[in-house]
Chains A and B, each alone.
Chain A
């Protein structure tokens, strides 16, 4: 997986988002063991402290859990996964709506455009 990081936001937040996306997209499967902090840090070319911070953040959101001796695992809690998946989807939609608004589209226009787009896709 590519660790593409941008300049504007704290690096650990970007890593949280990247890992979240990967979990949702199925790159990591429920119950999978995550590589060690050091290995992940190496892979992403970031500081181990930053990676640690990102993983702690993920634990707090419930996507990742720690087993005291054996390491970190992806949650098997399907409800939680769906919840986060929906949350990410909503974030994307909100971003989309905001951008459309900036372009001057009304809600009605957006809906019409979207419907047409979705129909054409079929």
Chain B
């Protein structure tokens, strides 16, 4: 099978500011990967590039051999930081929408997860709390049988119960042909579910290694190492 994600000298500039500087990165299938870095390090830029919301200034990025476009959007499932649904929508409207546009969307899986949270199909988004809306969005994104899931800061600003729910959802939906890329700056919270970590700083990759490697070689947690690497 093709390399799932491949970045070659990937560079992104906004005007004079370089957000990503010549990044080389490969991601394999079947991994849960943490994209870790302080705010403004280039995490969101990388995720937006993967999703075709930005175009590279230089270099190339391919997903399953394709440059970002309609072909890759079929196999990449993206959870942005924003809630992007119209508040007038009912849950069933959103389900219809995803069914219509994503061939890999598993409606039954989504309904099962929604029912477990006591969310009804006829509920309107406008009647939900911010936290519930975010969960609905996560359920939609994780109910696709995608090859690559990109979750941008899924656990930033949520309470511990919601965080556990998110992590459980990620683990439940794991499959060996797909990878999950999770960006966050809260490492200790998700360290146990990660296979690999990528440390990113000022648009450069500082470190890309497996969690086990780090623990074996450094004798400390990824969180502790992160604090060391990014010490102010």
Interface residues of A (CB under 8 A from B): 5, 7-12, 38, 41-42, 44-50, 53
CB distance from A91 to the nearest CB of B (A): 18
Majority SS at the chain B contact face:
helix
Give the number of A-B contacts (CB < 8 Å). 57
Q: Is the CB of B171 within 8 A of A42?
A: yes
Interface string of B203-232 (1 = CB under 8 A from A): 000000001100110011101100000000
Q: A45-B167, A47-B193, A49-B30 are in contact. Are A9 and B174 (CB under 8 A)?
A: no
**Considering the chains assembled together, what is the distance between the CA atoms of A54 and B192 in angstroms?**
13
CB distance from A89 to the nearest CB of B (A): 25
Cβ of B21 under 8 Å from chain A: no
Q: A38-B172, A45-B192, A47-B194 are in contact. Are A8 and B220 (CB under 8 A)?
A: yes
Q: Is the CB of B192 within 8 A of A5?
A: yes
Q: Is the CB of A45 within 8 A of B171?
A: yes
Number of residues in B with C-beta < 8 Å to the partner?
Answer: 22
Other-chain contact of A49, B32, B168, B220, B221 (Cβ < 8 Å):
B32
Q: Is the CB of B220 within 8 A of A47?
A: no
Q: Within residues 132 to 169 of chain B, which ones have a CB less than 8 A from any CB in chain A?
A: 164, 167-168
Majority SS at the chain A contact face:
helix
Q: Is the CB of B224 within 8 A of A7?
A: yes
**Considering the chains assembled together, what is the distance between the CA atoms of A26 and B125 in angstroms?**
49
Q: Is the CB of A42 within 8 A of B164?
A: no
Which chain A positions have C-beta within 8 A of B167?
45
**Most chain-B CB neighbours within 10 Å: which of A7, A38, A49?**
A49
Which of chain A's residues has its CB closest to B192's CB? Answer: A46
- 22 chain-A/chain-B pairs, Cβ below 8 angstroms: A8-B215, A9-B215, A9-B216, A9-B219, A10-B211, A10-B212, A11-B192, A11-B211, A38-B171, A38-B172, A42-B171, A42-B172, A44-B192, A45-B164, A45-B168, A47-B174, A47-B193, A47-B195, A49-B30, A50-B192, A50-B195, A50-B211
Q: Is the CB of B172 within 8 A of A47?
A: no
Q: Is the CB of B193 within 8 A of A46?
A: yes
Which of chain A's residues has its CB closest to B32's CB? Answer: A47
